[in-house]
Structure 1
Amino acid sequence: MNDILSLPHKYYDSLAAGTPVIVKNSFTTMCNEVRRYGCGIIIDVHDVPASINEILKAYENYGSLQQNLINCIDNFVWDKEKEEQFINFII
């Protein structure tokens, strides 16, 4: 269950660095974010030919994936402004 719903730090580190991600289709929560933001690709490890095609398409559209990340980077980066908003929310 933890593998399916987990959101590891390296996932968000990659997104914050502007690097599109490759996510296994059984990682439900990460897949939902990848679909929502268009910030990577989802692969089925049991269908290797389809996964290879997805990776090749992503390579061809790498600029588009990076642009999607630029458009939604605020969702993945914790900066001073967000810290202040959080503190004001609590207080």
Structure 2
Amino acid sequence: MSNPIIADNKPKKVTLEKDKKYMFCACGRSNNQPFCDGSHAGTGFSPKSFVAKEDGHAFLCQCKHTDDAPYCDGTHSQFDKDQVGTEGPG
């Protein structure tokens, strides 16, 4: 698997707690999107750990192609519904 699975073509709004560590799913296989559930085992992908800088809402990437992981940067707009659940382009 060279490219991550596109888990969704829109970001997920989540509530984060300041100074709490989170594990962001980078492979797109997690059933707990956008967070890691260990489904990356054997894929060559690793989750991205991050610490929330403040309490509140954040929009986390689910297309897995953002340049600002774990945060959405709008890259998902290039993917349509038919591409969800598939490996995206390189």
TM normalised by structure 1 equals 0.24
Q: Which has the higher helix share?
A: 1
TM normalised by structure 2 equals 0.24
Larger radius of gyration: 1
